[in-house]
Amino acid sequence: KHNILAGVWFEKANHRQTKPGMTTNTQGDISDIYGTQPGVFYSDGTPYQGRNYRTISTAYSYFINDTYFVNNRFDLVGAVRYSAINRDFNNFANSASAPQKVDFSNNVSYAKVLPSLGARYKLDSNNQLFGNVTQNMKAPANFTQADLGTTVNNIKAETSTVYETGHRYNGDKVHTSATIFFVDFQNRLANGYNPDTQTYTSYNLGSSRAYGLEASIGTKPLNGFSYFGSATLMKSIIKDDFKTSLSTCTSPCTTTVSAPTNGNEVPDTPKVMLANAVQYSKGPYLLGLTGKFTGVRYTTLLNDESLDPFFTMDLNAAYRFQPSTFLKNPTIRLNATNILNASYQVANIGSGSSIALATNSAKGSAYSNYNGYS
């Protein structure tokens, strides 16, 4: 028996990005923390903008899945997906460094056919073995095009092949999962500081391999209490030397060199990540406590600088009111993050990690980390 599913996904987005300035007082503090001021202006009346972009992204995907039920225990799932994205980027002259000081536009496209194959075998009503092989693609961020100007785009899309196998258990009170994985990356993307243009941009690190183990356990509510815990053990290794350009004082002004990164670990990839969550829910009340541990991470391609491990704990509470004519399940929520007031550093602020070649080199002296606190 076959179960065939096909579909089309389409998205078109108009992304406008600006970066107005803000004045400070005599102590160096921001004069208006709520951002109600109109901004900072030059003497001719034009506003300061640290960036001024417009990106029109057109993305689409076609897919077809075929689930073949071999028997009541064994299933095979085959799929093919074609994904593509086009970015029409327009830079309006702003106060950033070259090439963003003048108007320009560029257009890039990325596309790939992505097959996948999966298998599931039911040992019994509670236990299942599974295995999957999946291909993925990741396009560079749009801000990479701001650094290109009118030059030819040489940043390639990241591609990966994921191999995973494992076991799942779904019981009356407990459910568990354990997965062994191996990921083969090509043209792996990373974000870092480019001293030549004084901007943050994307780089292709070349090929890399990631492998490890993921495990989780959860319980169904018992007298209102439930628990979920997960652990990830991973190692991610760069398989190529990183090619970069260094400024010289002779003609030509730059030369390409290879940094000895082959065999080093990929920056901002913790070897250990742990998470635990306890929740109490009864009647209209809900209370939860979550703890997360993040292990050591390198911040440079040469692995000569790292960030210490850290542990944070968050608290969440909620009260659910009775539904009314105009409101369905109205709820009041309270969230408190980092209730232990842990001090830590991260290399990622949500838009990508900022890495460098080394802590003290011509191409990597301006890496940055971010402090976390409550």
Residue 339 · residue 315 · CB < 8 Å:
yes
Give me 115's structure tokens: 């097959």
Question: With 90 as the cut, is the pLDDT of residue 317 above it?
Answer: yes
Whose CA is closest to 362, among 244, 246, 192? 246
- What are the structural domains of the chain? 2-372 (2.40.170.20)
- In sequence order, the 6+-apart residues with CB closer than 8 A to the CB of 350 are none
What pLDDT sits at residue 165? 98
What pLDDT sits at residue 22? 84
pLDDT band at 123; cut points 50, 70, 90:
very high
What pLDDT sits at residue 363? 41
pLDDT band at 191; cut points 50, 70, 90:
confident
pLDDT band at 243; cut points 50, 70, 90:
confident
Greater model confidence, 211 or 206: 211
Tell me what percent of the residues of the chain surpass a pLDDT of 70.
Answer: 86
What pLDDT sits at residue 50? 87
pLDDT band at 348; cut points 50, 70, 90:
low
Whole-number Å distance between alpha carbons of 236 and 354? 17
For range 154-170, the mean pLDDT: 95
Residue 363 per-residue DSSP state: T
What pLDDT sits at residue 316? 96
Give me 374's structure tokens: 């409550």
Helix (H, G, I), strand (E, B) or coil at 266: coil
Q: Is the pTM of this model over 0.85?
A: no
What pLDDT sits at residue 254? 60
What pLDDT sits at residue 30? 84
What pLDDT sits at residue 356? 60
C-alpha angle with apex 76: 71 to 79, nearest 5 degrees?
150
Give Cα 49 distance to the centre of its chain. 26
pLDDT band at 292; cut points 50, 70, 90:
very high
